[in-house]
Every structure is written in C-alpha cells, then in structure tokens.
Structure 1
Amino acid sequence: MPAAVLAAIVLADLLVGRGQSVIGLLTMPPLLAATALGRRATIGYGLLGFTAAVLIGLYDDQYSDARVTAQTIRLLGITVATALAVAACTLRLRRETRLAELRAEAAATEAVLATAESLQLSLLGDPPQVAPLESTVRYLPASRHAQVGGDWYDAFTLPEGTTMLVIGDVAGHDAPAAATMAQVRGMLRAIAQATGGSPATVLDTLDQVLTDLGLHTLVTVVVAAVDRDADGAVLRWSNAGHPPPLLARAGGGVELLARTPERVLGVAPGAHRTDHELPLLPGDTLLLYTDGLVERRGAPLDDGFAWLAGAWEATGGEPLDRRCDELLAELGGRVDDDVALLAVRLPTAVPAQPGAR
C-alpha cells in the first residue's frame, strides 16, 4: 500500500503538469508504512518520499526564488512526517510485542491451571459409586489460587456393608496441600477398613497417625457411616471442625447437622470425639461440603448456612446432579476457596444390607 500510494502521487504530479505540485502528499507513504510495517520499512518510505519530493521539485521548477520557500516547507513536512511515523511505528511494535507476551503468558497460565485441575481431579479419583445409594460429587477450584488444594470427598463401602462418606479439607491451596490431602485420604480409607466404621474412632485414630508420622497440618473433616435396613437407614457421623452436613428430608424441610464443635485434626491428638446418630428415611438426602461453599468475605458464616439451606430446599425434586450444579451456579463461577461437594440420597426402596442391625 505505501509503495502504491508513492507511485500514484508521483504519477499524479507528472499528469497535472509542471505548474501544479502535489509534493505535499508525499507525507503519506511513511505514515501508511507505520501502520503495518516495521521501523526500517517506515524509514525507507520516508527517504523515498523525500527523494521523490526533491526530484519532482526539480521537475516542477520549485527551486526558483519565488517557490523555494514553499518547497523547503514541503521537504521539512515530509521529514517531520517521517519522524512521527517512525515514532508511531515504534510504539505500535512495542504494543504488539507486549500483547504477544501477554497472550503467551495467558496461554501458559491456562495450560498450568488445566494441568493443576487435572492433577487435583486425578488425586480425588473417579466419582465414587456406593449403590444402592445415589451419589453425586463436584469439585470447584478457587478462582485466585493454583487450582489445587486440600479439599476432598470420598465414599466407599466396608466389607460388612456400611457405606462411609467423607468430606475434608487440608489447610493450604498449593501442591503440598494436595499431596498431603492424598495421603490423608488414603490413610482414612485404610483406618476405616481396619476399625470397622465408627466415625469417631476413625477420626481419633487418624489424628494419632498424623502425629506419629510427623505430618504437621490442620485437617477439618466429617466422617459419616450409613447402615441400611428395611425401613431406611441409620446415619452415624463425627465432625472434626468441619462445616456441618445438610440433611434434606424426603417429605420436605432441611436441617444442618450441627452439634457441639470438636477439634480439627492436627491440634491435640487424643481429644474426645463423638459419634452422633439419627435415622434416615427413603428419599432423604445428605449433603457434605467444604467451607468454600458457605464462606463469604465480610459476611457471617451463619448467612452462608442460611443461603445453603434455602438454595438446596428451592431445588427439591430435581435430580441430585442438577441440584449440585445449580448450587454451584449461584456462586457465579468465582469462589475465594475451593469447593468440594458430596451428595447422597437414599433410594425410595432400600434393601437391607447383610448383618444390618
């Protein structure tokens, strides 16, 4: 384009004759070059424009006493236009370089976050299946962290038929927290298998093991055991400093299973831990979650609990996975802390497990 404009101006001057000068238009080629080409090309077109102006001035007899001042001003204008074009070209190239760097950084960050999220999900494993209970899990990483952290969910069945449900949170939002979470998750599974399923015993044993192994970390966790029978099920749970589970009854109504708070793991091994118990009926739903779901900056925690109860009750009757999705959708896609969810629902007809009490 700059070359075509330069040629057109020269041709136009030749066509209009010596009495008419269009030399002033030769400021255009370097300015056009600055919008798309590099600094060298811009300087080159500026020199070509200046040279063409000198030669056309000779052809048009612009150096006579009456015209030399005007011709000098034209040549000065082309020089100034070239200088401005080079400056504009330099700014454009710097801006384009910075934009390219930002795009590369964004792509690298996106790749790192995608890898981190994949790592987190691989540590959590495949969504647990604890038939005949219906179960759904969700994990939402914090918006301002590295997509890995200490939140986890788990569900598994013991040999005698008890279903174990776990939600927990290891302090931290980085790779070490995720690694510790994987260790704690595995140890809790092994302890539950060995101790027979009492949630309080599982937590007490895990707390002691963490101390014996020198894993100095804080862990909040809820462990729940579901024993099915012909009439429904019995829920037993113990809570180590974690947000209370939410129970939604099939007939309507929700309640937080809040009891007297007991210490988080990693503070005082040997602290007394309690099993709590209540009956479950067919169709009842239990929601376990981490604190990122209910904590809000500058808002009391009770407000988060009230919101959760209202939001969960408002979605009553919908499939379990859709209820979890709608719950997370209300967060707006940005959370200050990781969120893990584990929701389980008793089927409307519950077969008794072997050896149920």
Structure 2
Amino acid sequence: MDHDRQSERQSGASDPARPNSGSHGLAPELPRLPRTGDAIDEIARRIQELAHAKDRLQGLLRAVMAISGEQLELPAVLRRIVTTAMELVHARYGALGVLTEDGTRLAQFIPVGLSEEERAALAGVELPHGRGLLGHLIHEPGPLRVEVIPEHPASVGFPAGHPPMRNLLGVAITVRGEVYGDLYLCDREDGQPFDSHDEDIVVALAAAAGVAIENARLFDNVRNSAEQFQRLLLPSLPNLHPYEGAAVYRPATAPGQLGGDWFDAIMLPDDACAAVIGDVVGHDLQAAAAMAQTRNMLRALLYDRRTPPSAVLTQLDHTLHAITENPVTTACLARIEPKDGGWWFSWSSAGHAPPLLVTADGRTEYLEADPGLPLGVDLDIPRPDHRRELPPDSTVLLFTDGLVEDVKRPIDAGLAELAELAGANSRLPLEKLCRLLADHHPSDGHDDIALLGLRMPAAPR
C-alpha cells in the first residue's frame, strides 16, 4: 500500500474533494467569489444605473415629443427647446443664440431661467452678440463642456449685473447641415459640473431641435405666402367721391389660420356707391379662393344690374349654387345714393352682423334688421331690403365677426365695446378710425378681421 501511495504522489493524482493548489495542475483555478454583501451591493448599483439610464431615455423621448408637437410658431419653438434642455439636465439657466446668415455672430438671443430680480439687474445691458466664450462655440461648433467658466481661455467675464455662472454646456444646433444657432446651459441644480451623459443627451436633443426649427420655418413660409396670396385677392378701394372709403384686413393670430373675410366698394354708373362685407366659412386656402370667386361674381352683378341689394344677393346665391361648390357665406350688401339733398343707405343682409352707424358727434347705432339667410342655405326664401337716411359727416362701418367675437363672452359684449370705441373716436379721419378699431378690437383674435368704413360728405348734397 505504501508503494501505491507513493505512485499516486508521483503521478500527481489527488483526492477530488481537495483543491488543486499546484500552479501546473490540469484543472483551472476557480475565480474567487466576492463576499455575499459585496455581490448584492454591486447588483443593486447596476440595477440603479439601468433604471437611471431608462429614466433619461424616457425623458429624452418626452423632450423630443415636446419640441416636435403641434406648436409651430418659430419663437415658441425656440423657447421650448431651451426650457426642455434645461429640464433634461436640471440646469439652472439656459439660452439659445440664433446666428446671423453669415454665421459669424448672434442675431438673436433667448435667455431662460433668470428671475425678475436678475432681469432687473440686467436692464439696459445689451444681449450678447457672440464674443468671448459664446463666440468660441460659434467658431468651433463641437460640444463644449466647461467646469469653471472664468478659467476658460476664451472667457471675457460677465457684464455688470449678470448673475454668477460657473459651469457651461454648449451644443450647436444644425438645420439642413448648417449651424443655425447654439444652445447654452449653465449650472446644474445639484452644483455638479455637466458630465458626458449630460452632453450626450443634449446633443441628441439638438438633433431633434434642428428638425423642429426647420418645420417651423417651413410652416412660416407657407403661411406667409398664403397670407400674401389672400391679401392680393382683396381689392384696393377706388376713388368713391363724393364719399370717403377706408378698409382694413387683419389675419387671425392663431397659427395656420387663413380666412374668407372680404370687402369691396365701387361707384356705379347711376352715381350710387355699392359696398359689401362678407365672410366665407372656413380657415384655409379653399375659403380664400371661394372668397375671391364670390367677390368677383358680385362685382359683375352690381355693375350690370343696379337693382336693390336684396335682388343682387338673390341672383348671386343662384349663380353660386349653379356653377360652384363654395361653402356657406355671410354678407352684407349696401347701396348709398343721393336723394333730396341727403343720402340714403339701402342694405340687405345674408346672415351677417348689422352695420354700425356713427354720427359726427359720437352717437352710435347698430342698424338692426332682418338678417336674412346666409348664401348657400335656401334659394327659395326671399331676401328683405332695408333703408335709412344718413346725416352729413356720418360714418357707416361694415365688419366681419372676427372684429367682435370672443368665445369667452357673449357677442353682445363685443358689439357694445366696438360701438363705444367708435363713438369716442368719431372725429378721427376715416382711415385712422378704421385702423384704431382693428388695433384695439374687442375680439379674442381667433378669426381674421375685415372692416370697411364709408363716410358721407360733411355738407348736404
């Protein structure tokens, strides 16, 4: 047996239950397991990191959705980009600088995060133009992280009254491959400098911001072109002697809103003045095109027939029904003519707001009468005519509901406010009066505005 044990030792065999401590054994060394407590701590740390990364990705997704939403007004989009970036990395301050066309300096600077006291302290101080550290990012548009702003070689300090700022994270925003501007974030709320994770997430946001900015710019271009097209469809008032005429058109303040509001006034061969205000239902290019078609048809009918307003509107309704598919339209058609040393005002309404009469001494009166049905509703119901004598130097105002309508209050309140404003300014020149009413209208601005004013001569005929 002793000989057998010696053979086992020489051959290197060992008891399988005993660990092989030899450095040249065939069995590999097993890794040394950490203590149980350390392993649990490591697993908990990694789970926490994964949860934090998931939260940041979800935050980035929400941020991208926020700046790519329905709000397409460019100023609102730019400000939303700054506030969203601040929320992502918990920055105390943020700003977005928009570059000039040549990309050499800042043309616009949008700061966010300043308190009222900090804004007051900066009163009178010019916004940055892109020098110092901000200029460094303009000329070298890569991501920039600075732990101590005053110690950076490009730093030139802050102007008087500027709040102290220590850390900076700057990222360029590109649109169609060109640098549009720079996003600046300062001072994390926890006092720590911005890290690589902050940089990565803001760079990702900047990519989405570039798309949102381009969409907003395209939207502005389309809307401006459409608005210009609509204005070209509206006429310039001709000489209406002996009467005076003035008109104002204002688009809706809501983004993407076009309208079918229109006006017109012409002198007829029988020395009468015809005037009309109208509103095609809808807020798009189709409404604007229908407006132009309706106005042109009405002008031809007015010049040819010279009949009472009700008959002209009736013929217009039949013509539109026969050869177009235009939407429902409201209108008020008036005819002013001299008679017996004064002036008669005849009108017929197709579901439109009543004209407002303003005398030279400031008295006001809405010419309430049967409004009739809008165009495109029922061809068989007759349209009424109305008539009123106008005093010298008086003014008649025809307007669309966008001038007085506010969804938060009754329309009568807007009508009363308009009458009060017009009466208080009745002695203004007609063009100034119309502009004042359009500038200080009592509506909420959700609809476009058309206003047509006609003033009688100051002395009897």
Match of 2:254 in 1: 144
Q: Is residue 2:425 matched to residue 1:315?
A: yes
Aligned-partner SS, 1:155: strand
For the pair 1:256 / 2:366, whether they are aligned, the reply is yes
CA spacing shift, 1:121–1:37, aligned 2, 3 Å: closer
Equivalent residue of 2:295, what SS?
Answer: helix
Of 394, 403, 417, 1:284 maps to 394
Taking the TM superposition and a 5 Å limit, the aligned residue runs for 1:156-305 are 156-229=266-339, 231-305=341-415
CA distance in 2, matches of 1:202, 1:160: 16
Kept after mapping to 2: 8 A contact 1:158/1:197: no
Q: What is the match of residue 93 of structure 1?
A: 203
Query: Which structure has the highest strand share of the two?
Result: 2
CA shift for structure 1 position 147:
4.2
In structure 1, how many angstroms separate the alpha carbons of the residues matched to 2:438 and 2:311? 32
CA distance in 2, matches of 1:328, 1:99: 36
How far is the alpha carbon of 1:281 from its aligned partner?
A: 2.2
1:222 and 1:238 in contact (8 A); partners too: yes
Distance 1:333 1:301 in 2: 9
Question: Any gaps of 5 or more consecutive residues in structure 1?
Answer: 6-30, 39-80, 352-357
Cα separation, 1, equivalents of 2:431 and 2:373: 32
Q: Is the 1:162–1:197 Cα contact (8 Å) retained in structure 2?
A: no
Q: Following the alignment from structure 1 to structure 2, what is the Cα–Cα distance between the partners of residues 195 and 221?
A: 18
Among candidates 215, 225, 231, match of residue 121 of structure 1: 231
Correspondence for 1:76: none
Q: Distance in 2 between matches of 1:166 and 1:145?
A: 28
* Correspondences of 1:57-68 after superposition (within 5 Å): none
Q: Identity of counterpart residues, as a percentage?
A: 36
- Rounded Cα–Cα distance in structure 2 between residues aligned with 1:168 and 1:254: 22
What are the Cα deviations for residues 124-166 of structure 1, in whole angstroms up to 9, with x where unaligned? 1324432221111111111225342211000011112111000
Measured in 2, the distance between the counterparts of 1:199 and 1:145 equals 36
In structure 2, what residue type is equivalent to 1:267?
A: V
In the alignment, structure 2 segments of 5+ residues that lack a partner are: 1-135, 137-143, 148-165, 173-191
**Which amino acid is 2:169 matched to?**
T
- Give the AA of the match of 1:175: L
Alignment TM-score, normalising by the size of structure 2: 0.56
Asked whether the 8 Å contact 1:129–1:155 carries over to 2, the reply is no
| Distance of aligned partners of 1:215 and 1:346 in 2 relative to their CA distance in 1, 3 Å threshold | same
Structure 1 residues 37 and 97, CA gap change in structure 2 (3 angstroms): closer
Distance 1:215 1:308, change over 3 A: same
Residue 219 and residue 99 in structure 1: after superposition, are their counterparts in 2 closer, same or farther (change >3 A)?
A: same
Give the CA RMSD over aligned residues.
2.9
Q: Work out which of the residue numbers 108, 111, 135 in structure 1 matches 2:245.
A: 135
Structure 2 residue aligned with 1:35: 169
Report the alpha carbon displacement of residue 252 of structure 1 after superposing the two structures with TM.
3.3
SS in 1 for 2:279: strand
Q: Distance in 1 between matches of 2:266 and 2:382?
A: 25
| Match of residue 326 from structure 1 | 436
Alignment partner, residue 106 of structure 1: 216
TM-score by length of 1: 0.72
Contact 1:220–1:265 (CA<8 Å) still a contact in 2?
yes
Is the alpha carbon distance of 1:36 and 1:307 closer, same or farther for their aligned partners in structure 2, counting shifts above 3 Å? closer
Residue-pair matches, total: 283
The Cα of 1:311 is off from its aligned counterpart by 1.3
Bigger fraction of residues in helix: 1
Residue 333 of structure 2 aligns to which amino acid in structure 1? V
Letter paired with 2:319: V
Paired with 1:264 and 1:332, the residues of 2 have a C-alpha distance of 24
1:150 touches 1:171 (CA, 8 Å); kept in 2?
A: yes
Aligned in 2, Cα 1:188/1:93: closer, same or farther, shift over 3 Å?
Answer: same
Deviation >6 Å, runs of 4+: none
What's the offset of the Cα at 1:309? 0.9
Q: Is the 8 A contact 1:128 1:154 kept in 2?
A: no
Distance 1:333 1:255, change over 3 A: closer
Write the distance in 1 (CA, Å) between the matches of 2:327 and 2:421: 33
Secondary structure of the 1:148 match is coil
Deviation string 1:148-194 (CA, Å, 9 cap, x unpaired) is 22110000111121110000011111011111111110111111122
**Counterpart in the other structure of 1:65:** none
* Structure 1: distance between partners of 2:195 and 2:441: 50
In structure 1, what is the Cα distance between the partners aligned to 2:171 and 2:274? Answer: 67
Counterpart CA distance in 1 for 2:451 and 2:341 is 27
Kindly tell me: are residues 197 and 334 of structure 1, through their superposed partners in 2, closer, same or farther at Cα, counting changes over 3 Å? same
Pairwise CA distance, 1:215: 2.3
